Amino acid sequence: MLEGLGGVSKIPELQRRILFTFLLLAVYRIGVYIPTPGIDNAAFLAMFEQAKGSMFGLFDMFAGGAFSHFSIFALGIMPYISSSIILQLLTVAVPHLERLSKEGETGRRKITQYTRYGTVLLSVIQGSAIAVGLQQMAGPNGAPIVLQAGLSFIIMTVLTLTAGTAFIMWLGETITEKGIGNGISLIIFAGIVCRLPAAIGSTWSLFSAGELNFFVLLFIVILMIAVIGWIVFMEGGQRRIPVQYAKRIVGRKMYGGQTTHLPLKINSAGVIPPIFASSVIMFPATIGTFATQGWIKDIAGYLRPGTIGYESLYVAFIFFFCFFYTAVTFKPDDVADNMKKFGGYVPGIRPGKKTAEYIEDILEKLTFSGAIYVSIVCVLPSVLITQLNIPFYFGGTSLLIVVGVAMDTASQIESHLLTRQYEGFMKKGHIARRR
């Protein structure tokens, strides 16, 4: 691997791309600590500490800590992600968007433009809701969070938060175009990784204070390595369906006749299911934070992270969204029709409807396995912390994102190395998909 990294120093273009990526990520991290005007940050942080178990905690994770500081990047990149997911889901229902998705580069640019418009719209809506809500909130000691409430504060906050999200969106797209890796994913990656030293520091503090013995610490380290290795193994896992293309003679030339495969990932839905599941379940907890009725607070208490009710619903929603998102984004009928159109078939399976049923059956089994894998990774930290009192912070949605983004970025760096005839990161076996 070190020899492979040495090849990076021989490619000036790749060096510039990596340096450019780090510089833009540094700009993003600086913006996380620039406060939004008109807010008492001490009162807001005290209020946020009491609401960590609600949707605010999930929101802050994807914002890289910007929401807890209520900085200019407080909305983070979530409006862009939400807009992208909404457009992706609408592609199935709206014929115009479906046609655009099949028009190649021109259609993708148009959908990207719609995504940007949607990002600004969602940012304005979320910013308005947050600004109005903050005017009615106070810190634990009764101090108002907003220094000077009114219409001017709402307008200023909406403009500031929307501009911050638009700037992050520009950073992400610029990194994708001129840097290395997927810019939006790397921004989320940077926000999560920056919290890793604090998690390691808190674990080490417990060990130094004698509250954590050596064997428990060793167990945490081994389990952390095992979880990361398992995620890498599963994220790279594929089921390759063999596809044979018949020979065709066009004029004097013969086309087709080659054998290829259709790769189906074990976790084809990615990190979307746990994100959606967390958002849905934490919504009652968020309402309960501000409610005054006792029964609402009781329901919110049953749905806080670590409780049996929360973890059971969390797993159920992960399974639901795994199957739902896979069904929306992957169409076996379309795949089978395209294969039949170009003379392709699965050996032993009749082209057309039978092929679609065969692919769908395999996809359902893979999705079920992927849902089990995602559920275990996401629930493991809560079980260890609440049930066994083991401070294990290396799991959940954040770890899935970190490992997935790291693998994708490493693959892109290796592609740059291989196209210039340098060895990749590993001498034997590049970062490739498994059967």
Least confident of 114-128, 147-161, 236-250, 313-327: 236-250
The DSSP 8-state label assigned to residue 383 in this structure reads I
The structure's pTM equals 0.78
Which pLDDT value is given to residue 58? 66
Residue with structure tokens 């008492």? 40
The DSSP 8-state label assigned to residue 36 in this structure reads P
For 277-288, how does the pLDDT look when each residue is reduced to its tens digit (9 = 90+)? Answer: 877 776 666 665
- Residue 109 tokens read as 């640019």
Ramachandran angles phi, psi of 306, nearest 5°: 105, -20
Round to whole Å and give the CA distance between 152 and 126.
17
DSSP sequence for 75-101: TTTHHHHHHHHHHHHHHHH-HHHHHHH
The pLDDT confidence band at residue 2, using thresholds 50, 70 and 90, is very low
Which pLDDT value is given to residue 1? 47
In DSSP terms, 245 is beta-bridged to: 344
Question: What average pLDDT does this structure show over 253-273?
Answer: 78
For 216-227, how does the pLDDT look when each residue is reduced to its tens digit (9 = 90+)? Answer: 888 888 888 888
Least confident of 92-101, 112-121, 234-243: 92-101
Domains of the chain: 11-194 (1.10.3370.10), 212-394 (1.10.3370.10)
Listed in sequence order, the residues at least 6 apart from 319 whose beta carbon sits closer than 8 Å to its beta carbon are: 273, 368, 371, 375
CB crowding 53-74: b at 16 or more within 10 Å, else e: bbbbbbbbbbbbbbbbbbbbbb
Which pLDDT value is given to residue 57? 67
For 60-100, how does the pLDDT look when each residue is reduced to its tens digit (9 = 90+)? Answer: 777 777 888 888 998 888 888 888 888 877 887 788 888 88
Residue with structure tokens 């999560």? 192
| Burial (0-12, 13-18, 19+ Cβ within 10 Å), 435 | exposed
The pLDDT confidence band at residue 398, using thresholds 50, 70 and 90, is confident
